[in-house]
Amino acid sequence: MDKNRIIIFDTTLRDGEQSPGASMNLEEKVKIAQVLEEMGVDVIEAGFPIASNGDFEAVKAVASHIRNATICGLARATRGDIERCAEAIRPAARGRIHTFISTSPLHMKYKLQMEPERVLEKVTESVTLARTFTDDVEWSAEDGSRTEPDFLCRCVEAAIKAGAGTVNIPDTVGYALPDEFAALIRLLFDRVPNIDRAIISVHCHNDLGLAVANSLAAVGAGARQVECTVNGLGERAGNAAMEEVVMALRTRHDRMPFTTGIRTEAITRASRLVSAVTGFPVQPNKAIVGKNAFAHESGIHQDGVLKHAQTYEIMTPESVGLNRSNLVMGKHSGRAAFRAKLRELGYQLDEAAVETAFARFKDLADRKKDVFDEDIVALVDDQVVRDNVRIRLVSLEVLCGTRHNPPKADLELEVDGEVKSCNAVGDGPVDAIFNAIKSLVPHETRLQLYQVQAVTQGTDAQAEVTVRLEEGGKTVQGQGADTDTMVASARAYVNALNKLLVKRQKTAPAALMA
Ligand code: KIV
Ligand code: ZN
């Protein structure tokens, strides 16, 4: 392999999913994995199989669906973890076991309560066991950046000797500074005798906002795999954002002559899908994927960009999958234009899905003068998570305002093929809608989050509503988009309930309705 090729290891489905509230169901994980594969990610870490049956099934499903990328599962340094992980990745065309153990004094003493020599033995034991299932084993030194260098060198040497082809050095708590982290990677290259037999990887967290800077510094020092997530999702402040790492390498090729296999034009699509599925909005000024990342507001900047784009743009919007095209879709646009637009936005839908999306687009275009790309993306992503539905919104009317006290919702839902209707009141119109849904589909959940975002601008903008429900410690998130915020709210709640049903697939349908 080219010595300057950087392997992109995406852990959105594992470390990303560990963000509180970012849980994804199996279908959503497979969908995201497909998009990651299409964009050219080399390794997809699909989950932590021992963590739950849901995680195990999701890793297995991703391993069955993805053919080009390597599918990786995480495992602690125990037989149970490693065997479960091996089982989950078995269907993969290329499967990797990623096993880890803490190596810092703090973690070994308080978390593991193990002597360093025992930890060192476990490195060898875990990698050796993992190698009995696959040739592709990655070993990580958890809290690597706070590990004593001599001990880290001994662990890395032992892991490589036992057969780890990739050795990952995480900055688990996001504590490192770029020059210090680069020095640590250089030290490994200088001191570990068998280092040339493994790829050195880094996994940086963003607690001090330095995850991307640390990852790039490590690449400069010899690391050839970067672990990252879409939108920088991940534990606490998140992981290094994949789009930032990749675009920094592409844009500053003059100083960092490295390449990746990422088709950067798919970045915006991946970012939007992850945001829609997790309900984590992307901050407007987020590098690369924020909605303002390519927007020029000030007159001076606009003037400059119009005269010559590079005056204020270091990357083109097209390079990350945004298009400058003024092709705004509207109610006169036909199927062919709609299909072309879907292709332009990076969607590959089958005929039936195109037809459903087209009907929903026409419906939207009747209510909204201009339909922007963002509207279509919201609409299609919403459709993706609406597959497998058992509850559908049929109709909704809401009475509210100064003369209607309390607000009232008339609702019709189709539940397992049967149309049911009711009306309910509430403390506000949204409360009335949710009460109506609860009376048609009785359930015991706690509403954890209700959030409204405008997809585009103007008073006719589509509202995108996110609803998070909690039941027995498990959370599901639903999204709904519509020009009417109340309809979007109902759709989001129904979408969350459908996800809850998918989560409880093995439970009799009557259980939810009882
Ligand atoms: O942050 C971390 O150390 C991790 C490891 C399991 C790789 O996520
Ligand atoms: Zn991590």
pLDDT(503) > 70:
no
Contact 155, 188 (CB under 8 A): no
d(CA 36, CA 346): 12
Contact 85, 50 (CB under 8 A): yes
* Spacing, Cα 124 to ligand 2 middle (Å): 22
pLDDT score recorded for residue 505: 47
pLDDT(5) > 90:
yes
Average pLDDT over residues 207-214: 98
- Residue 512 pLDDT grade (very low, low, confident, very high; cuts 50, 70, 90): very low
Helices (H), 200-251: 211-220, 242-251
d(CA 477, CA 498): 10
Average pLDDT over residues 77-99: 98
* Spacing, Cα 103 to ligand 1 middle (Å): 12
pLDDT(95) > 90:
yes
Give the position, in ligand 1's atom list, of the atom nearest the Cα of 143: 3
Which residue's CA lies nearest to atom 5 of ligand 1?
142
* Spacing, Cα 141 to ligand 1 middle (Å): 8
**Residues 416-435: b if buried by 16+ CB within 10 A, e if exposed:** eeeebeeebebeebbbbbbb
pLDDT(327) > 70:
no
For residue 458, CA distances in Å to 370, 372, 432, 455, 490 come to 10, 12, 26, 10, 22
Q: What is the pLDDT of residues 56-72, one digit of tens each?
A: 999 999 999 999 999 99
- Residue 366 pLDDT grade (very low, low, confident, very high; cuts 50, 70, 90): confident
pLDDT score recorded for residue 402: 81
Question: Terminal CA-to-CA distance of the chain, rounded, Å?
Answer: 59
Residue whose entry in the numeric block shows the structure tokens 């637009």:
341
* Spacing, Cα 295 to ligand 1 middle (Å): 35
Ligand 1 lining (C-beta closer than 6 Å)? 15, 100, 140, 142, 168, 170, 172, 203, 205
pLDDT(385) > 60:
no
- Please tell me what DSSP assigns to residue 283: P
- Homologous superfamily, domain 7-278: Aldolase class I (3.20.20.70)
pLDDT(424) > 60:
yes
By DSSP bridging, strand 418-425 and strand 408-415 are: antiparallel
Q: Looking at the DSSP assignment, which residues form a beta bridge with residue 10?
A: 44, 228
pLDDT score recorded for residue 508: 32
Closest ligand to the CA of 168 = 1
Which residue's CA lies nearest to atom 1 of ligand 1?
172
Predicted structure pTM score = 0.74
For the chain, give the percent of residues with pLDDT over 70.
93
d(CA 158, CA 390): 52
- Residue 297 pLDDT grade (very low, low, confident, very high; cuts 50, 70, 90): low
Average pLDDT over residues 169-186: 98
Length of the chain in residues, anyone? Answer: 514
* Spacing, Cα 126 to ligand 1 middle (Å): 16
Average pLDDT over residues 3-16: 97
pLDDT(506) > 60:
no
Average pLDDT over residues 255-282: 93
Helices (H), 194-345: 211-220, 242-251, 267-278, 299-307, 335-344
Q: Calculate helix-pair angle for 26-38, 267-278, nearest 10 degrees.
A: 170
- Residue 500 pLDDT grade (very low, low, confident, very high; cuts 50, 70, 90): confident
Higher-pLDDT residue of 36 and 451 is: 36
* Spacing, Cα 47 to ligand 2 middle (Å): 12
Which residue's CA lies nearest to atom 2 of ligand 1?
172
CATH code assigned to 387-504: 3.30.160.270
* Sheet of 474-482, strands arranged across: 446-454, 463-471, 474-482
Mutate to test the pocket of ligand 1, among 14, 15, 175, 228 (most ligand atoms within 8 A of CB): 15
- Please tell me what DSSP assigns to residue 107: I
The amino acid at 281: P
pLDDT score recorded for residue 334: 84
Q: Which range scores top for mean pLDDT: 7-11, 415-419, 438-442?
A: 7-11
- Please tell me what DSSP assigns to residue 307: H
pLDDT score recorded for residue 511: 32
Which parts of 81-165 are beta strand (E)? 95-102, 137-142
Helix (H), strand (E) at residue 503: helix 485-503
Closest ligand to the CA of 228 = 2
**Among 3-12, 143-152, 315-324, 365-374, whose mean pLDDT is lowest?**
365-374
The set of long-range contacts for 106-112, using a CB threshold of 8 Å and a minimum separation of 24, is: 106/143, 106/146, 107/142, 107/143
Give the position, in ligand 1's atom list, of the atom nearest the Cα of 205: 1
Closest ligand to the CA of 76 = 1
Mutate to test the pocket of ligand 1, among 140, 143, 152, 168 (most ligand atoms within 8 A of CB): 140
pLDDT score recorded for residue 279: 83
Domain ranges of the chain: 7-278, 294-318, 319-384, 387-504
Q: Which of 176, 169, 161, 181 is nearest to 144 (CA)?
A: 169
pLDDT(186) > 80:
yes
* Spacing, Cα 203 to ligand 1 middle (Å): 7
Read off the tokens for 480: 């709904």
pLDDT(509) > 50:
no
pLDDT score recorded for residue 507: 33
* Spacing, Cα 200 to ligand 2 middle (Å): 16
- Residue 384 pLDDT grade (very low, low, confident, very high; cuts 50, 70, 90): low
For residue 99, CA distances in Å to 72, 75, 364 come to 10, 5, 48
| Number of alpha carbons in the 13 Å side-chain half-sphere of residue 294 | 16
Give the position, in ligand 1's atom list, of the atom nearest the Cα of 15: 8
Which residue's CA lies nearest to atom 8 of ligand 1?
15
Mutate to test the pocket of ligand 1, among 138, 203, 215, 233 (most ligand atoms within 8 A of CB): 203
pLDDT score recorded for residue 343: 82
**Among 105-109, 218-222, 379-383, 488-492, whose mean pLDDT is lowest?**
379-383
* Spacing, Cα 142 to ligand 1 middle (Å): 6
Mutate to test the pocket of ligand 1, among 10, 11, 74, 123 (most ligand atoms within 8 A of CB): 74
- Please tell me what DSSP assigns to residue 236: T
pLDDT score recorded for residue 238: 97
- Residue 377 pLDDT grade (very low, low, confident, very high; cuts 50, 70, 90): confident
Closest ligand to the CA of 172 = 1
pLDDT score recorded for residue 449: 87
* Spacing, Cα 227 to ligand 2 middle (Å): 9
Give the position, in ligand 1's atom list, of the atom nearest the Cα of 18: 8
d(CA 278, CA 188): 37
For the beta carbon of residue 106, count every other beta carbon within 10 angstroms: 12
pLDDT score recorded for residue 266: 95
Give the position, in ligand 1's atom list, of the atom nearest the Cα of 170: 3
* Spacing, Cα 170 to ligand 1 middle (Å): 6
Average pLDDT over residues 389-414: 90
Sign of the Cα torsion 471, 65, 42, 87 reads: positive
**Among 138-152, 297-311, 383-397, 499-513, whose mean pLDDT is lowest?**
499-513
